[in-house]
Amino acid sequence: MATLILSAVGTVFGGPLGGALGALIGQQFDAALIGRRKVEGPRLKELSVQTSSYGSPLPLHFGTVRASGSVIWATELIERAERSGGGKGRPSVTSYSYSASFAVAVASRPIAGIGRIWADGNLLRGGEGDLKVAGKLRIHTGHGDQAPDPLLVQAEGPALNPAYRHTAYAVFEDLDLAEFGNRLPSLTFEIIADASGVTAADVCRAIDPIVESADLEGTPITGFSLERGGASEAIGVLGEIVPMSCIVRDARIVLQRAEVPHEQPLPVLPEACAGGDRAEDALTSGWTRKREAMPATAQCAVRYYDTARDYQPGLQRSVGRHVRGDVAVIEMPVVMTADEAAGVANRAALRRTRARDTLRYRISEIDQRFAAGALVRTTVAGGIWRVEEWEWLADGVLLDLVSVPVDLPMGQPGDPGRANVPLDVPVPPTQAVALELPWNGHGDANQTIVRAAATASTAGWRGAALYARQPDEALLPLGSTGRSRAVMGRIPESLPAASPLIFDRRNSLLVELAGPDLMLDNATWAQLMQGANLALIGNELVQFATAERVGGRTWKLRGFLRGRGGTEDATSSHLAGEPFVLIDDRLTVLDPALIGGSAPAMLAAIGLGDADAVTSRVINAGLSLRPLSPVHGKATIKPDGGLELTWTRRARGSWAWLDLVDVPLNEPQESWEVRFGASGQTVAFWTSSAPQLRLDAATFAGITAEAPSGMFEVRQIGRSSLSAPLLVPLPA
């Protein structure tokens, strides 16, 4: 801010030169007030984007990490066309889907396996090894006996397909790209490089065999990635977790801890001896001690890959006061917990604010135990000291020692923050039924209304492809369900019979839904009158007023309107185990030309979790076009000995009867079938074009003589079927 202000003031009074001088002075003010941000690194990166550049380096991975890869082989997009519809004057729809096969290299050393895989940030492969989209996956771990992938051999030929030994890679075969915008997604892999864990010593030895680090065996590392460089790069990163000192012994590099516990036994230097020509070396005590000035207090921050956040980069800061704006950021491509990262940040801050304490010490003999890098104790000063340098002089050995910190505290625990990780549940099998619904009074009265209800036990379900299985076993595509799960299940007990003319307050019904996360709601009387909470139970359509969860996925329903939509003949035919389907907009519309009609086809559904197709007959087939049974039947004996039979007509789609006048016919013509008989035997048969039938005395006497306990059955003749019968007994 001072830079901007003083630059503007200097320009006004001194022109360009004054502006430059003002900006220079302002920078000094800003530096004193807010400091300068210091960033160490760059080593850790955001989860990098998948590449396919030739010659890109593949990193070394240790432990378990999440990293992207490099595409080393791919096919062109494979297009598939699927046609649906086109029956009875309806337009045909051709849908296109795309897939691809490709290989992604993930590591330049053998690995134990691959866990989860993310595509564009969404979970592509779960922890159980299940793919969330259609396709196949093969993992090659990169060992020396690795065989070529069969798909690559088939596509490129044996001569052009190496086995990529000592390189771990994954091959995706025919991966469905619909969820990724019909393009190759950017993938990141949970790479399990070492199944049994890894230590800092393992990392150092794997990178350079000349490194010995037995002192670091007890330092476990969850995960570590080294994109480029060698042992020095790895030691520089791991040194922030466990500070190390380095010595050379027998042409080998030996790493040891630079911070040691108090109780560790260490050699003690012999008594110091005086000597030397220089004044500072000729002290009678033989040693001098020097402490440098206290450095400015600095706060440290560690960027790392957080295990609690699916390996997304996290940041943990050290505690304590610090110079304003002066933050040392340590980039660490290491997988850690928030507590571990906070501990690294706190110990790094303490090391950076600790004054350097040195000791110059002369001994009179050469001892291998006191070589450069050795940790020792002295008789003149407490603590632990490391031999930084030694010089062989004519009158002794001069050692330069530096104080070694011991047991730096962890500090306060860290907080990983809230993580919005993708849901990882296995893809469950599909549950599906097909059903026909009554005409609701809107649109074409001749239209068959067929729906598919599909769901699964968990939200990991990815939808299913639907087909109509014809009597000749041919499969006709009907589209897809999408991912919206229908609210459906089974009834563990039968629903008692009740009249469709009253509100059923007496009965209750238990329903076991397909999954515990599926929900049912209550409905007021006004909402019931608007059609709320309509459900299919067996073959009957009912509405329910209250739904109460009684445990897990089990609900208890109360308050029923029975026999809705012309299904009153199914109110007394329920059995335990019948399907329950909530009728709402989560059902899938099916083409009636392919699956409906007088001889409906079977519904076949198959999803990612299905070994075989799930099939279902069409429940209530013909319900959309079936006329409603008449009501209010009455048989009256006339004074002349004849009989008059009357009834009241009902019409499909006229459920509300809002104007209280005669309902529309909704049929090509009004036609009735009347039968008279007993015990399933028909004695007489008539047809009528009006809701009444008159019999003369002789006809009436004849039929009653043949069947004294007979009954009349009245059915409406519709365009494709008969209605359910209205039974009218003989008058008493």
Q: Is residue 386 part of a domain?
A: yes
Give the β-pairing of 327-336 and 299-306.
parallel
3-state secondary structure of 431: strand
> Which of 201-215, 448-462, 683-697 is predicted with the least confidence, judged by mean pLDDT?
201-215
Q: Which of 50-59, 375-384, 560-569 has the lowest mean pLDDT?
A: 50-59
Q: In this prediction, what percent of the chain has a pLDDT beyond 90? A: 35
Q: What CATH number is attached to the domain comprising 663?
A: 2.60.40.10
- For the segment 413-422, the average pLDDT, to the nearest whole number, is 80
From 598, 619, 640, the end of a domain falls on: 619
**Spatial distance between the Cα atoms of 342 and 234, rounded to a whole number of angstroms:** 20
| Matching residue, tokens 């380095």 | 246
Q: What is the pLDDT of residues 342-390, one digit of tens each?
A: 888 888 888 777 778 888 888 888 888 888 878 888 988 888 888 888 8
**Whether pLDDT at 279 is above 70:** no
The model carries a pTM of 0.73
- Per-residue pLDDT for 41 more than 70? no
Structural domain contains residue 112: yes
Answer yes or no: is pLDDT of 94 > 80. Answer: no
Same domain as 270, residue 409: yes
Element (H, E) at 410: none
Q: Same domain for 247 and 274?
A: no
3-class DSSP string for 56-100: CCCCEEEEEEEEECEEEEECCCEEEEEEEECCCCCCEEEEEEEEE
Specify whether 360 is located in the same domain as 280: yes
Q: Which two tokens stand for residue 189?
A: 């892999």
Query: Rounded to an integer, what distance in angstroms lies between the CA atom of residue 83 and that of residue 34?
Result: 67
- The residues pairing with 336 across neighbouring beta strands, listed in sequence order, are 306
Q: Which two tokens stand for residue 595?
A: 């699956």
Q: Are residues 596 and 538 in the same domain?
A: yes
Is residue 500 a contact partner of residue 563, using CB atoms and an 8 Å limit? yes
Whole-angstrom CA distances from 277 to 285, 289, 590 are: 15, 19, 103
Q: Write the CA distances from 341 to 63, 407, 412, 413, integer angstroms.
A: 17, 17, 11, 9
- Paired strand residues for 687: 673
* Residue 231 host element (H or E): helix 231-238
Least confident of 156-160, 234-238, 314-318: 234-238
d(CA 245, CA 371): 13
Whether residue 265 is found in the same domain as residue 252 = no
Query: Do 188 and 202 belong to one domain?
Result: no
Listed residue (303, 339, 58, 74) closest to 189, CA to CA: 58
- Per residue in 602-632, is it b (16+ CB within 10 Å) or e — as a string? bbbbbbbbbeebbebebbbbbbbbbbbbbee
pLDDT above 70: percentage of residues in the chain = 83
What is the residue type of 374? A
pLDDT of residue 6: 52
| 11 and 148 within one domain | no
pLDDT reported for residue 92: 66
Question: What is the sign of the dihedral through the CA atoms of 227, 233, 237 and 238?
Answer: positive
Residue-wise pLDDT for 501-547, tens only, equals 899 999 999 999 999 999 999 999 999 998 999 999 999 999 999 99
Whether 703 maps to a domain, the answer reads yes
Tokens 């004519």 -> residue? 394
Angle among Cα 315, 318, 321 to the nearest 5 degrees reads: 135
∠ CA(47), CA(76), CA(136), 5° rounding?
65
Whether 346 maps to a domain, the answer reads no
Q: Of 215 and 569, which is predicted with more confidence?
A: 569
Same domain, 72 and 183: yes
Task: Please say whether the beta carbons of 395 and 404 come within 8 A.
Answer: no
Phi, psi at residue 562, to the nearest 5°? -100, 160
Residues 14 and 66 reside in one and the same domain:
no
Domain count, the chain: 6
One domain for residues 572 and 587: yes
pLDDT level of residue 585 (50, 70, 90 thresholds): very high
7-16, 67-76, 150-159, 252-261: which range is least confident on average?
7-16
User: What confidence category does residue 50 fall into, taking pLDDT thresholds of 50, 70 and 90?
Assistant: low
- Residue 198 reports pLDDT greater than 90: no
Task: Name the amino acid, one letter, at 347.
Answer: R
Q: Say what the pLDDT of residue 205 is.
A: 76
Closest among 260, 220, 249 to 408, alpha carbons compared: 260
pLDDT at 104 over 70: yes
CA dihedral 343, 345, 350, 353 (to 10 degrees): 180
H or E stretch at 2: helix 2-34
Q: What is the C-alpha to C-alpha distance for residues 3 and 21, in angstroms, rounded to an integer? A: 10
Cis bond leading into 313, ω under 30°? no
Domain boundary among 591, 619, 647: 619
On whether the CB atoms of residues 605 and 452 are closer than 8 A, the answer is yes
608 found inside a domain: yes
Q: Is residue 532 part of a domain?
A: yes
Reported as type and span, the H/E element at residue 476 is strand 475-480
User: What is the pLDDT confidence band of residue 43, given thresholds at 50, 70 and 90?
Assistant: very low
Give Cα separations from 129 to 63, 577, 590 (angstroms).
Answer: 19, 33, 33
pLDDT single digits (tens) 23-40: 555 555 454 444 444 333
Domain boundary among 140, 173, 192: 192
In a domain, residue 526? The reply is yes
Answer yes or no: do 106 and 182 share one domain.
yes
The dihedrals phi and psi of 432, each to the nearest 5 degrees, come to: -145, 145
| DSSP line for 293-338 | PPPPP-EEEEEEEEGGGTT-EEEEE--S---TT-EEEEEEEEEE-H
Q: What is the pLDDT of residue 218?
A: 66
Residue 470, C-beta contacts closer than 8 angstroms, at least 6 positions apart = 476, 601
The answer to whether residue 345 is domain-embedded is no
Do 286 and 231 fall into the same domain? no
Among 559, 70, 122, 166, CA closest to 310: 122
Which phi and psi (to 5°) does residue 47 adopt? -55, 110
The amino acid present at 328, given as its one-letter code, is A
Between CA 595 and CA 617 the distance in angstroms is 10
Per-residue pLDDT at 422 exceeds 60: yes
Type of residue at 628: L
Domain coverage including residue 78: 60-84+95-192
Pairing of β 672-678 and β 488-490 = unpaired
DSSP state letters, 679-706: TTEEEEEEEESSSEEEE-HHHHHHHHHH
C-alpha to C-alpha distance for 607 and 447, rounded to whole angstroms: 29
